[in-house]
Copies of this chain bind each other. A is one copy, B any other.
Amino acid sequence: MENFILLDALNMSFASILGYLAGTLTTLAFVPQVVKTWKSKSTADISLGMFVTFCVGVFLWLVYGFLLGSPPIIAANVATLVLAMIILFLKIKYK
């Protein structure tokens, strides 16, 4: 029984680490796009529909995080929302 509890604790810990790593990567992914678009001022190949829909979706994830009281969900989605909104802003500016 104790072994099962230990195994369960290890699994949960591994899952949590994986979740944080996944959230970090899907958030950091938008950094190279922001840098690229900021420098090139060219957004012809970027879909406006993608970033409008994505920003609304991430905003809902953020509200979901607040409702659940989950700091990792809140933190990841605040960062992603800021980055995705910069890309959306640049898309509209350099349309």
Contact = CB atoms under 8 A, between A and B. Distances in A.
Interface of A: 11, 14-15, 18-19, 21-33, 35-37, 40, 42-51, 53-54, 56-58, 60-61, 63-64, 67-68
- Chain A interface, >50% SS class: helix
Given A47-B36, A50-B33, A57 B18 contact: no
A61 B29 contact: no
Contacts of A15: 64, 67-68
A40 B29 CA distance: 23
Given A22-B61, A64-B22, A68-B15, A46 B44 contact: no
A26 to B, nearest CB: 4
A48 B33 CA distance: 8
